Amino acid sequence: MAGIYIHIPFCQSRCIYCDFYSTLHLDKREAYVEQLCREMLERKDELLTRARAYNTLYVGGGTPSTLPPSLLQKVLLRTAEIFPLATDAEVTVEANPDDVTSEWIAMLKDTPVNRVSMGTQTFNDQLLHFLNRRHNSQQAERAVSMLQDAGFTNLSIDLIYGIPGQTRQIWEQDVRKAISLRTPHLSAYSLMYEEGTPITRLRDKGQIEEMDEDTSLWCYEHLCQQLSEAGFQHYEISNFALPGFHSRHNSSYWEGLPYLGFGAGAHSYDGKDVRRWNESDLLGYIAHGACYETEQLTETDLYNEHVMTRLRTHQGIDLQHLLLRFGQSCHDYLLEQAKPHLLQGNLQKTGQSLHLTRGGIFVSNQVMSDLFM
Ligand code: SF4
């Protein structure tokens, strides 16, 4: 199993909370795609010895749908030409709701894409405006139904909770609306105040207030409860899916499978102990091609990463697998470190699985760091 990730770093405007690598240089889109195709060709054999066909392709950003439809189609078709995709490959493209037009959907129909992920974030227009999202709730609803009418059943939407001004009532409406759209996958994130973002500056100047912790916890609890009643499996801390619709691409990251990343800022992993990433520098990438940094992961890095990624999932850490992969001393260390959290009810041991409880999810960062070496 192996996957491909393609980074399209363009956005038409910047959301006030975002610290992802993206740029407003839309005039560079064609030159970027040229370089992207070159990079894919140059690196096409990097994983080939193990991956005869790729199981997932994910085009993310930035906002891939800011590419003109013909250019996005070129990326998708060229990728599928260079990298053989399995017949049942999951092929996802991220989109902003207001880019989803009938022309865009028609273009998508002529590509291998079978999954669309949309950053809806909230269905409250005032909050969307505050976040500097460029769509409104009506456009989001319309985008979902247009895609469904065109036969795209595997859709995912994102929600954010913890937005200043987002009351419990607004969040209840967001969750209700999300469920009513009948998309089989939903990701929900707590708003983060990342350094250097406009929203953090507003908070630091006292112009907005963070949502209090009780309300934030209530929002997450409410979401978990409502989605569970609607038949969704809570398969990762931030991800929920109806049976059969979990994100195979993201799951492969949590399972430590190899993937190739292309484009400025994209990461790759060989599935063993080497991670590489391209510099987040659009102009440098276009002018000189990919410039990689490489990290050789130590056994400690790999153990820590295993603990962190597995603990985020519903299945948790498979203790037998951990024993075989990292040895007796790591296994014993983990169980020793886990003891206080087992006693406090943050962790639970079920058979050979060590996993977070619902309460443990709220303190997951602390639990993980206590289990790290
Ligand atoms: S659309 Fe996505 S990548 Fe672009 S600024 Fe907003 S959150 Fe960031």
| pLDDT over 80 (residue 63) | yes
CA 368 to ligand 1 centroid distance, Å: 28
Q: Is the pLDDT of residue 282 over 80?
A: yes
Ligand 1 atom 3 nearest Cα: 62
Classify residue 262: in a domain, yes or no: no
Pocket residue to mutate for ligand 1, from 10, 18, 98, 117, most atoms within 8 A of Cβ: 18
Asked if residue 259 belongs to a domain, the reply is: no
Same-domain pairing of 83 and 198? yes
Co-location of 316 and 370 in the same domain:
yes
For residues 118-141, give the mean pLDDT: 98
First to last CA, the chain: 29
Q: What is the CATH number of the domain that holds 335?
A: 1.10.10
Q: What integer best gives the mean pLDDT of the chain?
A: 95
pLDDT at 358: 86
Q: Give the domain extent around 304.
A: 299-373
Q: Is the pLDDT of residue 199 over 60?
A: yes
- Among the candidates 253, 275, 308, a domain finishes at 253
- Of 253, 271, 289, which one is at a domain's C-terminal end? 253
Rounded mean pLDDT of 208-214?
Answer: 95
Q: How far is CA 202 from CA 22, 34, 210, in A?
A: 21, 39, 10
Pairing of strands 274-278, 317-318: unpaired
- Atom 7, ligand 1: residue with shortest CA distance: 18
What is the rounded CA–CA span in Å between residue 332 and residue 3? 33
Question: Around Cβ 279, how many Cβ atoms within 10 Å?
Answer: 15
Query: For the chain, how long is the longest CA-to-CA vector?
Result: 58
Give the pLDDT band (50/70/90) at residue 47: confident
- The model's confidence at residue 51, banded by pLDDT at 50, 70 and 90, is low
The CA distance from 373 to 371, in Å, is: 7
d(CA 22, CA 119): 15
218 and 77: one domain?
Answer: yes
Query: For strand 85-95 and strand 115-121, is the pairing parallel, antiparallel, or unpaired?
Result: parallel
Kindly report the CA angle at 201 between 200 and 202, in degrees rounded to 5? 90
How large is the average pLDDT for residues 265-287?
A: 94
Residue spans of alpha helices (H) in 64-212: 69-82, 102-109, 125-130, 137-149, 168-180, 198-204
Q: Hunting for tokens 């406090």 — which residue is that?
A: 344
Task: Compute, in angstroms, the gap from residue 11 CA to the centroid of ligand 1.
Answer: 6
170-to-67, 126, 160, 162 alpha-carbon distances in Å: 33, 11, 12, 11
Long-range contacts formed by 272-275: CB under 8 A, 24+ apart? 273/297, 273/298, 273/302
Alpha-carbon distance 248 to 142, whole Å?
26
What is the pLDDT, as a whole number, of residue 52?
77
Q: Are residues 118 and 244 in the same domain?
A: yes
pLDDT of residue 48 exceeding 70, the answer is no
pLDDT band, very low/low/confident/very high, at 21 (cuts 50, 70, 90): confident
Same-domain check for residues 304 and 248:
no
CB 65 within 8 A of CB 93: yes
Residue 246 inside a domain? The answer is yes
Ligand 1 midpoint to CA 109 (Å): 25
Asked if 72 and 161 sit in the same domain, the reply is yes
Q: What is the pLDDT of residue 1?
A: 72
Domain boundary among 220, 253, 286: 253
What is the model's pLDDT at position 359? 87
% the chain with pLDDT above 90: 92
User: What is the mean pLDDT of the segment spanning 133-157?
Assistant: 98
Same domain, 75 and 18: yes
The closest alpha carbon to 337, from 365, 299, 372, belongs to: 372
Residue 7 has which token pair?
């980074």
CA distance linking residue 269 with residue 259, whole number of Å: 5
Query: In the predicted model, what is the mean pLDDT of residues 296-305?
Result: 96
- As a whole number of angstroms, the distance between CA 32 and CA 265 comes to 13
Residue 98 has pLDDT above 70, yes or no: yes
Report angle CA 128, 118, 307 to the nearest 5 degrees: 105
Q: Of all helices (H) and strands (E), which one includes residue 19?
A: none
Is residue 214 included in any domain, yes or no? yes
| Other beta carbons within 10 Å of 342 | 15
Beta bridge partners of 11: none
Name which residue sits closest to atom 8 of ligand 1, judged by CA. Answer: 18
Note whether 184 and 331 are same-domain residues. Answer: no
> 349 pLDDT exceeds 60?
yes
Mean pLDDT within 297-315: 95
Say how many Å lie between the CA of residue 19 and the centre of ligand 1.
Answer: 8
CA-based radius of gyration for the chain = 21
pLDDT at 50: 58
- The length of the chain in residues reads 373
Which helix (H) or strand (E) segment is 151 a member of? none
Q: How far is CA 39 from CA 32, 36, 79, 163, 283, in A?
A: 10, 5, 11, 39, 15
Which pLDDT belongs to residue 92? 98
CATH number, domain at 240? Answer: 3.80.30.20
Tell whether 249 and 319 lie within a shared domain.
no
Residue 49's pLDDT is what?
57
Residues 238, 321 share a domain: no
What is the reported pTM? Answer: 0.95
pLDDT in tens, 216-233: 999 999 999 999 999 999
Section 177-191 average pLDDT: 97
Q: Which residues pair with 75 in a beta bridge?
A: none
Q: What is the tally of structural domains in the chain?
A: 2
For residue 217, give the H/E element and its range: helix 213-229
Arithmetic mean of pLDDT, 114-137: 98
Same domain for 120 and 47? yes
Q: What is the pLDDT of residue 362?
A: 87
Ligand 1 atom closest to Cα of residue 19? 8
Residue 291 lies in a domain: no
The token duo for 3 is 């996957």
pLDDT of residue 150: 98
Per-residue pLDDT at 297 exceeds 70? yes
Ligand 1 contacts (CB < 6 A) are: 11, 14-15, 18, 20, 22, 61-63, 119
> d(Cα 80, Cα 347) in Å, to the nearest integer?
42
Domain match, 207 and 316 both: no
